[in-house]
Structures are given as structure tokens and as C-alpha cells.
Amino acid sequence: MKILLLSDVESKYIWDYFNPERFKDIELVISCGDLKSEYLSFIVTMIKAPLLYVHGNHDTDYLTNPPEGCQCIDDKLVVYKGIRIVGLGGSKFYNSSLLQYTEAQMEMRIAKLRPRIWWHNGFDILVTHAAAYGLGDGDDKCHEGFKAFNRLIDKYEPKYFIHGHMHLNYGNKERIIKYKNTTIINAYQYYILEY
């Protein structure tokens, strides 16, 4: 299955120069946040595949203008064609804005998901906006990753952990990191995953 991953920056390759042939095999689209609502609505219309998303720290406009035709998976576990996907949007708390969380708040969100994770015997993909601590995150308070994600990955060992927030032009060296049994992918701009 081909999955189109998106985050943080609208791609001109997709939005301005859309060619349906390039994306004809895409079966699922996952957004890791901080993209215009209209962009996600355009993609789900043109690609004709379900689009799942989590909120980025700059997606407060989604609260009044959510992307049409897309499904928010924040604080949920959804199953698509047998693939169990958990979504946890937002970033580390840094300036008291919405969609920012302390470690304790993120732990609470995860705790509320645990019965569903248990019911489904784990999950295959973790989708977040922020990175995990020390695994592709940044040094500043805004871009520091969540230790709660590290614990979640260590316990359930999902096949993939997909995040955004860390623009590759921030000096981030790698799009893909291997951590134990999990492949971590920075979805910055766009990336096609063959699941």
C-alpha cells in the first residue's frame, strides 16, 4: 500500500502542478499538521483516497474551518485496511497557545487511549505532529520532542512513527531514523511510504 505523508509546508509539486498520474497508486493520505485546510481538502478531492490528520501547533483555524472530506484522528485509534493507526497532534508547550501540551498533558492523552490500544492489541503506525525526545526533534523549547512518545514506542513497537514539526531545512539531518523495531519518518512537505 502506498501512503502519502504530508506536513508543515504545502508542496507546489502537489498543489500548483498536480498530476493525477503521479499519485494514482496512493491508497491513504496522512497529514502530520501545520498545513492549510484548503490544501488538505484539495488533496482529498484530487487523489480520491481517505485523508487522516492530526493538528499541528499552528492549526487553530481547523477548529472553525476543518479540512473538508478529511478525518481528524487526534486522540483516536482508527483502523484502515487492517492497519491500526494512533493519532496525537500538537507540540510541546512553549507560549500558552492552543494545541500545545506539557509532558503530563500528553501522558494523560495517551492514558485515555490505552484501553483502545489494548483492545486492538497495539498499533502499527503512530502519527503525531511533534517528534519524540531525542529522535529527530530540536534543541529549542518549541521543537523539543515528547518523552511520552518514546515510552509509547518502546512499549508497543509500532512499525512506523510518522511526525512533522521539524522542517528539514532547520538543519535536521535525516528524514528517516531507525529506532529499535520502529522506522521514524519526518513527513515534512511530502513523502510516499510503501507500507
How far is residue 67's CA from residue 50's CA, in Å, rounded to a whole number?
12
pLDDT at 170 over 90: no
Task: Looking at the structure, give the CATH architecture of the domain made up of residues 2-194.
Answer: 4-Layer Sandwich (3.60)
How far is residue 67's CA from residue 64's CA, in Å, rounded to a whole number?
10
Condensed to tens digits (0 to 9), the pLDDT of residues 103-160 reads: 999 999 999 999 999 999 999 999 999 999 999 998 899 999 999 999 999 999 999 9
The model carries a pTM of: 0.96
**Domain residue extents for the chain:** 2-194
Quick one: pLDDT at residue 167? Answer: 87
Quick one: pLDDT at residue 172? Answer: 62
Residues 6+ apart with CB under 8 A from 81: 1, 27, 28
DSSP, residue by residue, 175-193 = SEEEETTEEEEE-SEEEEE
Burial class (CB in 10 A: 0-12, 13-18, 19+), 178: exposed
Q: What's the DSSP call for residue 25? A: T
